[in-house]
Structure 1
């Protein structure tokens, strides 16, 4: 086959978005150019890679197998580019950072500071759950990740850079908001609004409840911190959230953080990458930047919100 890496990238992006138009936007190409590359890739392979249903593109069985090898080749090319950049010591090119939801409250501002020092680096952000980020790291879809507890698979290097406290949050009208101290056992009677089971916040909450032998009622499960905050402020229940996700609401009196026995839970923010992967100079520069400035950035952010 005389297939090109450009065609491999097009196939991969169309498979990711199931759309020629969205893939074209991601690749900075026109939709006709993407369609042409898909047709040429299928001509080279001699088989149909996508089923067309209106504007939706779905992989055929052949396409699913082809995508596995396409991504392997693209990952190998990325490794080669990163290694050549290391020899040149070029802090340029694209840097893709993965983050869990709670990191979205501080990471964009930190990235803005990084970009000011490294303007030649094209930085992209990808938001996903901890488990999905592990898959994305393994597939070379992201270079580094910012998260709490790293995934168990694949083997990673996780370096802590800042404290990540988790607290109980309640409505300002809740009786806990006026209490000087709340014993852990009092939580047994509270309706809890929780994150999805594979989230780090949900796992931290479950460990806390198990340690205090508490079996509360989980009344709602929500996939985002924003949705949980709105439900808590509406008085629909209580929750455990990262302190970094509620700074604005807390400082404006929209949400309360009572003093609860055994809280806050002191976790850590980590910068994470695949242990066996050689980082590009841009990724190494970002890693050093986070380890050097991450903690002071978070402290300054929380101090500003508190004031």
Structure 2
């Protein structure tokens, strides 16, 4: 056997993505280069690692076992690198964070300075839906998660980072002549929803129910970005977080519609399992964010506080 770490990395990525094309893009390599390395790696085994049926690549049972071994080897090599940096007094290791979709407008600002100051830290940030965030946290696959509503079914530690404000939003041409206390807006314009289970949708539905507001035909979209574009296009109005609307409000593509009882205010929370033993890297990040969160909020989200 004379395989290289590079070949292990390529083979592992192929098994993860089930595609040479996708693996080449993920690794920033050409497709022929990935194919050549896979062939060289395969030549060291008498049993097939992969097979192509039709146009789909499949990993054989033997290939799956080799992939598991490759992952262990690469993790050990990574740990050697981290230990080398830690021995020199540097923070080194992997930091894993899962973030609800709207949190992508928040979390990078609370990571930037820490990552700049700690070159030995590798960041894995998964931006996904609320259900997946809670699942990854409950299965101990991440160090921290960012949510706007803290799940009650888990025993968690929680650190508030900043406010999350939800307003009634229409596009720049929405002409509202009614008073802020009038609910006719919900009769005049279709209401756009996030998908079921979304914290944004739950907050909006609770508000509508508490006010006994009438609603016209509803449309459902699976991300805040899609929701935002639908409102800009004039498909209707919605209640959504302010945090991702800075440029659209500034450009006049969207406007806040005053309405009694709004904004709804929650908090962006960094959460982690109560019984989790944090790694030195995660501990270092928690120390950083605990002491710097107010400075980061003031520096990057002053516009948010003005609404």
Q: TM-score, normalised by structure 2?
A: 0.74
Partner residue, 1:205: 204
Q: Does 1:35 align with 2:38?
A: yes
Q: How far apart in 2 are the matches of 1:63 and 1:242? A: 48
Q: Does 1:234 align with 2:237?
A: no
Q: How far apart in 1 are the matches of 2:251 and 2:150? A: 32
Partner residue, 1:191: 190
Report the 3-state secondary structure (helix = DSSP H, G, I; strand = E; otherwise coil) of the residue aligned with 1:149: coil
Report the 3-state secondary structure (helix = DSSP H, G, I; strand = E; otherwise coil) of the residue aligned with 2:256: coil
Q: How far apart in 2 are the matches of 1:235 and 1:215? A: 19
Q: Does 1:92 align with 2:95?
A: no
The Cα shift of 1:100 comes to 1.8
Partner residue, 1:102: 102
Q: How far apart in 1 are the matches of 2:137 and 2:49? A: 25
Q: How far apart in 2 are the matches of 1:256 and 1:220? A: 20
Partner residue, 1:129: 129
Cα distance change on mapping 1:216 and 1:282 into 2, 3 Å: same
Report the 3-state secondary structure (helix = DSSP H, G, I; strand = E; otherwise coil) of the residue aligned with 1:278: coil
8 Å contact from structure 1 (residues 168, 257) kept in 2: yes
Cα distance change on mapping 1:21 and 1:230 into 2, 3 Å: closer
Q: TM-score, normalised by structure 1?
A: 0.74
The Cα shift of 1:153 comes to 5.9
The Cα shift of 1:12 comes to 6.2
Report the 3-state secondary structure (helix = DSSP H, G, I; strand = E; otherwise coil) of the residue aligned with 1:166: strand
Q: How far apart in 1 are the matches of 2:51 and 2:275? A: 37
Q: How far apart in 2 are the matches of 1:272 and 1:96? A: 12
The Cα shift of 1:290 comes to 3.0
The Cα shift of 1:242 comes to 0.7
Cα distance change on mapping 1:233 and 1:200 into 2, 3 Å: same
Q: How far apart in 1 are the matches of 2:139 and 2:120? A: 25
Cα distance change on mapping 1:26 and 1:235 into 2, 3 Å: closer
The Cα shift of 1:270 comes to 1.0
Moved over 4 A (4+): 5-13, 24-30, 36-41, 48-51, 62-67, 87-90, 138-141, 151-155, 304-307
The Cα shift of 1:105 comes to 1.7
Offset from partner CA, 1:127-179 (integer Å, 9 cap, x none): 11111122333555533222212445665433222111111101232233x55
Larger CA Rg, structure 1 vs 2: 2
8 Å contact from structure 2 (residues 90, 118) kept in 1: no
The Cα shift of 1:221 comes to 1.4
Report the 3-state secondary structure (helix = DSSP H, G, I; strand = E; otherwise coil) of the residue aligned with 2:97: strand
The Cα shift of 1:51 comes to 5.0
Offset from partner CA, 1:16-35 (integer Å, 9 cap, x none): 32224534665688625873
The Cα shift of 1:8 comes to 9.2
Q: For this pair of structures, how many residues does the alignment match? A: 294
8 Å contact from structure 2 (residues 11, 38) kept in 1: no
Structure 2: which 5+ runs fail to align? none
Partner residue, 2:248: 249
RMSD: 4.1
Q: How far apart in 1 are the matches of 2:234 and 2:175? A: 11
Report the 3-state secondary structure (helix = DSSP H, G, I; strand = E; otherwise coil) of the residue aligned with 1:125: strand
Partner residue, 1:57: 57
The Cα shift of 1:97 comes to 2.4
